[in-house]
Chains A and B, each alone.
Chain A
Amino acid sequence: MAEEAPAIVLDKVNKWYGTMHVLRDVTMNVAQKERVVVCGPSGSGKSTMIRCINRLEVHQEGRIVVDGTELTDDLRALDTIRREVGMVFQSFNLFPHLTILENCTLAPISVRKMPKAEAEELAMDFLRKVKIPEQAKKYPGQLSGGQQQRVAIARALCMKPKIMLFDEPTSALDPEMIKEVLDTMVSLADSGMTMVCVTHEMGFARMVADRVVFMDRGEIVESGTPTRMFEDPQTDRLKLFLSQILRGH
């Protein structure tokens, strides 16, 4: 970690919605190939934080540096970062008017200027990796939630990002579909991708995370390895949170 520049740096990031302080001095580094799971109660700012990393939300104070480029109002820097950072949303956000294949090839063709045939080959590769190549000609509305989310992952990967952000990727899924998405994410983690993942799937965190970050009321309360965090929580807030989600399971 010392010799390589970190993939993501958040340095005293602050954000307000009107007068509501949603991110308070959030400071966190994510190393290359590190897998970080962010958890916390709803409204704790974890989604806002992850959305600041590719500037879907704009922070007001502090520095965010992604892959060596600082996020500012400079549009070119933003374009560079968005090319390198893939994102998967809670509600999939596939483009319903495009086929699965077109969903995957749109950005490589129009942003990376990749020839169509090459982009389609790449897309089929990733669709095979998420195990749904046979759905390529269908429209998103014809797929199940789990399938849609796997397409969304493939779509993000088609841009060959260095970093992947997951914003509660399994929260909108029926229980029987969560596993297929998590399996996809696990194999992605195994391939050495830098990942930041907001999720409540503690099993997933245990299996792949190098580090778990616990947020509450806009600040990072505690962070550490999954084993340490789950078995030996230091703060009362984390203890309370763990007892609540474990009761739910």
Chain B
Amino acid sequence: MTMPGNSAPAALHAPIDARDRPPSSVYGPVAWMRANLFNGWLSSGVTILFGYLIIRAAIGFVDWGFLNAIWTVPALPNGNPDPATCRAVRGTGACWAAVGDKWRFITFGRYPYDQQWRPGICIALFLSLYVMSAMRQFWRKELAFIWLGILTLIGVLMWGGVLGLRYVPQDEWGGLPITLILATFGLAFAFPLAVFVALGRRSTQMPAVKLICVLYVELIRGVPLVALLFMASVMLPLFLPSGMNIDKLLRAQIAIILFVGAYVAEVIRGGLQALPKGQAEAADALGLSYWQKTMRITLPQALRLVIPPLVNTFIGFFKDTSLVLIIGIFDLLTSGKTAMSDPTWQGSSTEIYIVMAIVYFGFCFAMSTYSRSVERKLDSAHNR
């Protein structure tokens, strides 16, 4: 707390003198290692054992993944790659040539080969959308229109049928664009839904709304996502009139939105619950309406409180989109698994799994890094 006219004597806050610094036996890397790694016989023993295991594993991985790895293979007379060299090193070296040959299938699934630049652009559009949304200077009303514009553009590119683009039906889409579509639309719709459900569940004035919100959350949370996806893909068509056919991807998308919405709603409700009651009372006493109070006072503070669990939910859900595999939607994981079943590259599933893990990790790690930086920024800005 800074208080003009009431500050402590200057000497208290003066920088530490060089001679006052602790000696290297209690401060610095050597002291840290002694305190944390070699603190007694048992600790030293465990450190050495695990150090050995880690180094052994690292050496094994470098051997397999780099030194003995096959990066390219020659082509057969018929133009197909010749996997013979890969088969020769199986078990001792990685066959990255399989990934090199299959990466377009893994990324774009069964999308027509000559049209794959379209989903390629879509991926770039998604990424730029994420980057833009993450930057504070873009946090204004226009961002909503940018989202709308880019998502429309992505729809046009994926489907085609206009502007001279060839029409590509949805069941030919696949790979990373599907994962990004499910995740992005999932979040974009689940989040506002969740806000309303969280507010509704706390409503004291409207018991009917509250009941609906409670039922929604409890019903959805009580069912695994897999079951929800099955219902959306198998059961829902049975209930619809025969002529009506909702796109399979859309049905999965709705199931995911409903599922994530319930979880995010509970996270947001937790944040609202954690706010001191005085905040809402002060807003009431100033005469703010319910929506003014919610949008300006309680919700912004609640969301800030729940950034860590919110990001946790988002990350979990990003990976959960891969569950659409079981209803035959061609997301990144499905197309990766299909690529593994190619007889040419039999036995190269580890390599493909590793690449897919890196892609998933990249997105999730970016989310958690970003959330930590937002938390830090908000903390220092408000000095709480």
A interface residues with partner B (beta carbon < 8 Å): 54, 56, 79, 82-83, 85-87, 89, 91, 93-97, 106-107, 110-111, 139, 141-144, 147, 155-156, 159, 176
Contact = CB atoms under 8 A, between A and B. Distances in A.
B282, B292, B381, B384 — most chain A CB neighbours (10 Å): B282
B281 A97 contact: no
A91 B278 contact: yes
Contacts, number: 74
Given A107-B288, A155-B286, A144 B383 contact: no
A144 B4 CA distance: 10
B288 A110 contact: yes
B383 A111 contact: no
Given A106-B296, A139-B382, A141-B383, A93 B279 contact: yes
Given A95-B279, A144-B1, A107 B382 contact: no
Contacts of A85: 285
B381 A142 contact: no
A87, A110, A147, A155 — most chain B CB neighbours (10 Å): A110
Given A139-B382, A142-B1, A144-B3, A89 B278 contact: yes
13 contacts: A79-B289, A82-B286, A87-B285, A89-B285, A94-B282, A96-B301, A97-B382, A106-B286, A107-B287, A107-B288, A111-B286, A141-B384, A143-B1
B292 A110 contact: yes
Nearest to A146: B3
Interface of B: 1-3, 6, 276, 278-279, 281-289, 292, 296-297, 300-301, 304, 381-384
A82 B381 CA distance: 31
Given A139-B381, A139-B383, A97 B285 contact: no
A82 B383 contact: no
A143 B284 CA distance: 23
A143 B2 CA distance: 7
Contacts of B286: 82, 106-107, 111, 155-156, 159
B269 to A, nearest CB: 19
Given A93-B279, A93-B282, A79 B383 contact: no
A163 B137 CA distance: 41
Nearest to B378: A97
A79 B289 CA distance: 8
A97 B304 contact: yes
Contacts of A87: 282, 285
Given A89-B278, A95-B297, A143-B1, A82 B285 contact: yes
Given A89-B278, A95-B297, A144-B3, A54 B382 contact: no
Contacts of B283: 95
B282 A82 contact: no
A54 B285 contact: yes
A93, A142, A147, A176 — most chain B CB neighbours (10 Å): A93
Nearest to A158: B286
Nearest to B2: A142
A159 B284 CA distance: 13
